[in-house]
């Protein structure tokens, strides 16, 4: 018995020496972080973008949900072998709070659709949409559609993106180099039994970030650790050289899975990594992702186990036929092995399904192999995210940056120890940041729908269809029944939230709706209409002038009279403020103060609403 224990301990010690290759020291992680930051910078710069391994693709997503978007939206999520269709209802919930409710269905993507032609793939997607609409009796409605498309895309607008290359086992011909939204629209048109208005296409990381922003307004980073691995974040526009404009921020899809494709990770690649890469569908590409993603983790462990067998440290030096079969050790086995309670039963059962009869010592070594591979994955991923977050802090010149990261993906959510190992290293490498991590619920679908809602709201605010060919004056009144309140309109245009609409706010608003290079004289002319700084009250005046004849003074007076039952011609400031803050399209405290700044009222705080209505509809205070 003692001799057996001694042999087992010796085998474990020798196995640990082999597994030590997976350990990354802090200096190694800092080196990965710095190289990631260098490639990010190269990806953002116009002159170095093409050769950069981290492409830093602009997404044209600049606005986040404000809590006033409403409507029904359809969301599609394509990023792996399963495809999801989701109906998202955005609006006021039972408690009067803004809510997002979802219904969804999963569809499997058949192999012939993944590897056939683009027409076959998108015809199948169109068929799935049709089936979903039938089940929910929605074919009669033309819904805005948000498309989560989790592959490298060069965006030309929020609803137009060119597929750079397939990943994750997809090879459908005729898609690379083409506009993905156009391919989807063509497939819907070919089918002909329903209509959809595709208003936004986003990456799954972007959708995750936006979905989590709904929960936490400090969420400015989105990350996926599942089949693959990727991240996005809000970058300063002045650093995004691929898009014109310097004001505000834009969400950038890093596509960091390709980090290492130019040799940045060569010193960290082990023999197992090289075998996985050689046997993949895209040798020499997505090397960082292959160190982290769930698509590859199980195979890496299998190769490590074969190495230990060859060294006569495992299974008495003999591997089963199943263990020698590529892909036999699934990534879910890694999570299950590391979840074993300590009695080794779960590990034994997994190995038994692979035709093995392991000893207790074998089970312990297999567990250590799984821990070594998954820990390296967590630490590598952490070094990349630390690079992103430190870059954000430096760009914003903040001594201490408080930020939230939204995360989705099966590895992050289901592996028993990944997130704890990952969090610890991220925080160690970002000493000047306070980071909160939140998990996305239905992130890809819900986020795409919320982005669609924001896009529709922006378009409706300016009296346009969601994909406008041109933009009318910013002060133009909303058309039809989709116009928001003036407080929402002011908030949409006041991009930097300083309470004043300036030239940069106008330029940013135009840019978000697809019109760039607006002549300076056009912007100056709009600002001159305000005859000074355009705060909320001045905005009301300008908006009222554009409403001339569509919302007469008497209609506004009638609304005010509801709050003046005694007919005195005044409403109490405090009571009116409470109504503005709590009812219908709620104002923010800052917006209320801006409105009150030029509102006629007496020393007792009574608002002369007749004079206020005149200002709103005529643009000048009535002369006494």
Known catalytic membership, residue 610: no
Q: Which residues contact 218 (CB under 8 A, 6 or more apart)?
A: 402, 403, 404, 436
Q: Which residues contact 546 (CB under 8 A, 6 or more apart)?
A: 475, 476, 477
Q: Which of 77, 123, 159, 204 is catalytic?
A: 204
Q: What does each C-alpha distance from 130 to 85, 148, 195, 287 come to in angstroms?
A: 10, 18, 10, 38
Q: Provide the β-strand partners of residue 78.
A: 83, 149
Write b or e for each residue in 353-378: b if 16 or more Cβ atoms lie within 10 A of its Cβ, otherwise e.
ebebebbebbbbbbbbbbbbbbbbbb
Angle, CA 101 vertex, CA 100 and CA 105 arms, to 5°: 130
d(CA 583, CA 566): 22
d(CA 211, CA 447): 4
Tokens of 350: 């997994």
Helices (H), 438-568: 443-461, 486-493, 503-512, 520-528, 536-546, 553-561
Half-sphere exposure of 341 (CA within 13 A, CB side): 3
d(CA 315, CA 307): 11
Q: Provide the β-strand partners of residue 225.
A: 229
The dihedrals phi and psi of 147, each to the nearest 5 degrees, come to -115, 115
Q: Which of 77, 123, 159, 168 is catalytic?
A: 168
- CB neighbours of residue 347 within 10 Å: 23
Chain-centroid distance, C-alpha 294: 20
Crossing angle of the two packed helices 345-353 and 360-396, in degrees rounded to 10: 100
d(CA 308, CA 369): 9
Q: Are residues 465 and 459 in contact, defined by beta-carbon separation less than 8 angstroms?
A: yes
Handedness of CA 46, 48, 50, 55 (dihedral sign): negative
d(CA 485, CA 540): 11
Tokens of 385: 């995210």
Nearest of 485, 489, 516, 518 to residue 501 by alpha carbon:
489
Tokens of 230: 């990727």
Known catalytic membership, residue 189: no
DSSP character at residue 432: T
Q: Are residues 264 and 35 in contact, defined by beta-carbon separation less than 8 angstroms?
A: yes
* Residues with catalytic function: 168, 204
């Amino acid at each position: 018995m003692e001799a057996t224990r001694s042999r087992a301990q010796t085998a474990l010690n020798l196995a640990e020496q082999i597994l030590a290759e997976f350990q990354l020291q802090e200096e190694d992680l800092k080196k990965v972080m710095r190289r990631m930051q260098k490639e990010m910078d190269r990806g953002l710069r116009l002159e170095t973008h093409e050769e950069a391994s981290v492409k830093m693709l602009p997404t044209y997503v600049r606005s986040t949900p404000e809590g006033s978007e409403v409507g029904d939206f359809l969301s599609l999520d394509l990023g792996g072998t399963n495809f999801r269709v989701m109906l998202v209802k955005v609006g006021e919930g039972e408690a009067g709070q803004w809510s997002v409710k979802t219904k969804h269905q999963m569809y499997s993507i058949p192999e012939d659709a993944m590897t056939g032609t683009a027409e076959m793939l998108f015809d199948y997607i169109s068929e799935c949409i049709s089936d979903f609409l039938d089940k929910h009796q929605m074919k009669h409605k033309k819904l805005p559609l948000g498309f989560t498309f989790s592959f490298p895309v060069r965006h030309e607008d929020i609803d137009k993106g060119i597929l750079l290359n397939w990943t994750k086992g997809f090879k459908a011909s005729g898609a690379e180099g083409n506009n993905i939204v156009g391919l989807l629209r063509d497939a819907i048109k070919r089918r002909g039994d329903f209509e959809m208005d595709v208003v936004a296409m986003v990456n799954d990381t972007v959708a995750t970030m936006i979905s989590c922003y709904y929960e936490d307004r400090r969420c400015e980073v989105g990350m996926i650790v599942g089949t693959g691995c990727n991240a996005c974040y809000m970058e300063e526009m002045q650093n995004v050289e691929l898009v014109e404009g310097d004001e505000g921020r834009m969400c950038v899809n890093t596509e960091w899975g390709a980090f290492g494709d130019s040799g940045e990770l060569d010193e960290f690649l082990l023999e197992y990594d090289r075998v996985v890469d050689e046997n993949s569908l895209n040798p020499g590409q997505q090397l960082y992702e292959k160190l982290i993603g769930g698509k590859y983790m199980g195979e890496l462990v299998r190769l490590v186990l074969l190495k230990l067998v060859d060294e006569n440290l495992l299974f008495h030096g003999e591997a089963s036929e199943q263990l020698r079969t590529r892909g036999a050790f699934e990534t879910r086995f890694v999570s299950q092995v590391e979840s074993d309670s300590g009695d080794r039963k779960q590990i034994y059962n997994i190995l038994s399904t692979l035709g093995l009869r392991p000893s207790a010592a074998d089970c312990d070594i297999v567990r250590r192999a799984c821990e070594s591979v998954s820990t390296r994955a967590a630490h590598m991923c952490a070094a990349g995210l630390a690079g992103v977050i430190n870059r954000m802090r430096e760009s914003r010149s903040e001594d201490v940056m408080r930020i939230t990261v939204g995360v989705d993906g099966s590895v992050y959510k289901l592996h028993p120890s990944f997130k704890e190992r990952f969090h610890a290293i991220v925080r160690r490498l970002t000493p000047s940041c306070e980071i909160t991590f939140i998990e996305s619920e239905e992130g890809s679908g819900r986020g795409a729908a919320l982005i669609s809602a924001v896009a529709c709201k922006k378009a409706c605010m300016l009296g346009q269809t969601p994909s406008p060919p041109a933009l009318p004056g910013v002060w133009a009144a909303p058309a039809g029944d989709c116009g928001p309140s003036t407080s929402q309109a002011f908030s949409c245009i006041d991009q930097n939230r300083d309470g004043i609409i300036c030239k940069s706010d106008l330029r940013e608003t135009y840019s978000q709706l697809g019109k760039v290079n607006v002549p300076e004289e056009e912007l100056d002319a709009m600002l001159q209409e305000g005859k000074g700084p355009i705060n909320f009250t001045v905005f009301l005046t300008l908006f009222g002038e554009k409403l001339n004849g569509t919302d007469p003074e008497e209609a506004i007076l009638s609304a005010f009279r509801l709050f003046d039952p005694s007919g005195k011609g005044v409403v109490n400031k405090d009571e009116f403020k409470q109504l503005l803050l709590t009812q219908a399209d709620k104002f923010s405290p800052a917006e209320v103060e801006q409105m009150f700044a030029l509102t006629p009222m007496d020393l007792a705080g009574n608002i002369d609403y007749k004079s206020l209505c005149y200002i709103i509809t005529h643009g000048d205070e009535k002369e006494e």
